[in-house]
Amino acid sequence: MKLTPEPATLQLRTTFRIAHGASDQRHNVLAHLDEGVGEGAAVPYHGETQAGLLADLARAAASLETADPLRIDDCLAGLPPLTPAARAAVDIALHDVWGQRLGQPLYRLFGLNPAAAPETSFTIAIDEPEAMAARARDSGWPILKIKVGTEADEARLRAIRAATPARLRVDANAGWTREQAAHLIPRLAEFGLELVEQPLPREDREGLRWLKAQNLGLPIFADESVKTARDVAALAGAVDGVVIKLMKTGGLREALRAIHTARALGLQVMLSCMVESSVGVTAAAHLAPLCDLVDLDGPLLIANDPYAGVRYEGARLILPDRPGLGVLRR
């Protein structure tokens, strides 16, 4: 097989601001593997960059030249050490080749029913309370994920709740201390929230355990604290649910292991994404029927998606029925 990396600069429709910074572009990579394609989205807190992903994929190419793409685990085991996002790009491309050569969409090869996928949320990035409320109202979306993590969080949620009856989830992106989280979560619960995502720094697993023990009235999900199935197991009893992203797990193979591990431990699963094109998000969407919650709005946030794949009917995910990922170059 021939692996060809391609840089992909994604232009965001609006400035995307979270607790730790803002951006108007995301610098991803596409991995072309014979007829298949994958995507890697650099995760800053993993120390990843577009240049690093391109270098990783260039190193991975030699190990795939004579590999059998239908032996996916063997192909992945033969890769040199890669960052999770680079590994995800190769893993997704291998699954795309697998499905195309067998003539079936991935969800069918996984034995899943795409109609069983939960509806996806839509993300409202940090801004002034009035601007966030207007964006929430104008989106018309029935499920919203609200980015928080600053001193104005309560004012933001009050404005948003006054503007929309949508189901609300909040994501602090590790922006609170233990004390801030314990103070804010009961107050924010008054706005009818469904859950709180990653309230504490990603390394503070004991803080998450302590926070859950406070019984603050909202389920707590871990995102940045979770990469692989091993991390899921370490968080048993510390949180109510985990957020699975292909860019953290290193692709679909490990994402499946992480989902099944969470299920065995009684944890809920939210399937999510970084800011990714339709390549990465469509790959994840093939696993959506296995999950309780979905946050796969990446293509809705970018203006120059290079591929067409998963579609949205309101908040419903409509998976393509073409073989493999089912994505098409625009």
Q: Is 212 a catalytic residue?
A: no
Under the banding of pLDDT at 50, 70 and 90, the label for residue 108 is very high
Q: Is 276 a catalytic residue?
A: no
Annotated catalytic residue within 48, 96, 153, 197: 197
pLDDT of residue 16: 82
Annotated catalytic residue within 39, 48, 96, 147: 147
pLDDT of residue 45: 82
pLDDT surpassing 90 at residue 225: yes
Report which of 278, 291, 247, 248 is spatially closest to residue 114, judged by C-alpha positions. Answer: 291
List, for residues 91-100, the tens digit of each pLDDT value: 999 999 999 9
Percent of the chain with pLDDT over 90: 94
Give the global pTM: 0.96
Annotated catalytic residue within 39, 56, 127, 223: 223
Retrieve residue 82's tokens. Answer: 């890669």
pLDDT surpassing 90 at residue 246: yes
- Cβ count within 10 A of residue 329: 9
Compute the distance between CA of residue 26 and CA of residue 45 in angstroms, rounded to an integer: 14
Least confident range from 16-30, 122-136, 232-246, 256-270: namely 16-30
pLDDT of residue 2: 97
Compute the distance between CA of residue 48 and CA of residue 189 in angstroms, rounded to an integer: 35
Four-residue CA torsion sign, 4, 285, 20, 144? positive
Four-residue CA torsion sign, 209, 17, 8, 10? positive
Q: Is 138 a catalytic residue?
A: no
pLDDT of residue 54: 98
pLDDT of residue 304: 97
Q: Is 248 a catalytic residue?
A: no
Give me the amino acid identity at 323: P
Give me the amino acid identity at 229: A
Q: Is 223 a catalytic residue?
A: yes
List, for residues 182-200, the tens digit of each pLDDT value: 999 999 999 999 999 999 9
Under the banding of pLDDT at 50, 70 and 90, the label for residue 20 is low
Compute the distance between CA of residue 187 and CA of residue 198 in angstroms, rounded to an integer: 17
pLDDT of residue 211: 97
Q: What is the mean pLDDT of the chain?
A: 96
pLDDT surpassing 70 at residue 19: no
Please provide the DSSP assignment of 76-116 as one string.
HHTSPP--HHHHHHHHHHHHHHHHHHHTSBHHHHTT--GGG
Average pLDDT over residues 154-183: 96
Annotated catalytic residue within 145, 227, 245, 248: 245
Helix boundaries (H) for the chain: 50-64, 72-77, 84-102, 106-109, 129-139, 153-163, 178-189, 205-213, 229-234, 246-249, 252-264, 278-285, 298-301
Annotated catalytic residue within 127, 153, 171, 297: 171
Please say whether the beta carbons of 210 and 239 come within 8 A. no
pLDDT surpassing 90 at residue 21: no
What domains appear along the chain, each with residue ranges and CATH number?
3-103 (3.30.390.10), 108-329 (3.20.20.120)
Q: Give the H/E segment covering residue 27.
A: strand 21-33
